[in-house]
Amino acid sequence: QVQLVESGGGLVQTGGSLRLSCAASGRTFSSYAMGWFRQTPGQERDLVAAVSENGAKTRYADSVKGRFTISRDDAKNTMYLQMNSLKPEDTAVYYCATRSSRSWLGVFVKTSDYDYWGQGTQVTVSS
């Protein structure tokens, strides 16, 4: 059974940084594409960043380009989201996700592309 556990969220001031982690278990971590999404109350869950199963390809939402960096450490079964220059509009619950099927070098941007989700971690950026 695939399990994803996010950590690293919290309260930070505008301009600060946080690093989110997503620890995976239950299967071979390196074989599947992954992504970070975020959601605010009453809104849809939107892509923040996504990474291919070998880490070679990434995709970012326009709103976070140049500020956030997605990465993965397959030896540790962990994916990261480094968030710099945080803004109040980055406040949301952040979720990590992975797929149930392999796709070499594929990067996926829709929630419907993903089959497994973590429980989410709250990020709050104060102005």
Task: For residues 29-56, give the mean pLDDT.
Answer: 94
pLDDT tens sequence across 24-35? 998 877 789 999
Structure tokens at 115: 């089959």
Task: For residues 32-55, give the mean pLDDT.
Answer: 96
pLDDT of residue 103: 86
pLDDT tens sequence across 62-87? 999 999 999 999 999 999 999 999 99
How confident is the prediction for the chain on average, in pLDDT? Answer: 95
Tell me the residue type at 40.
T
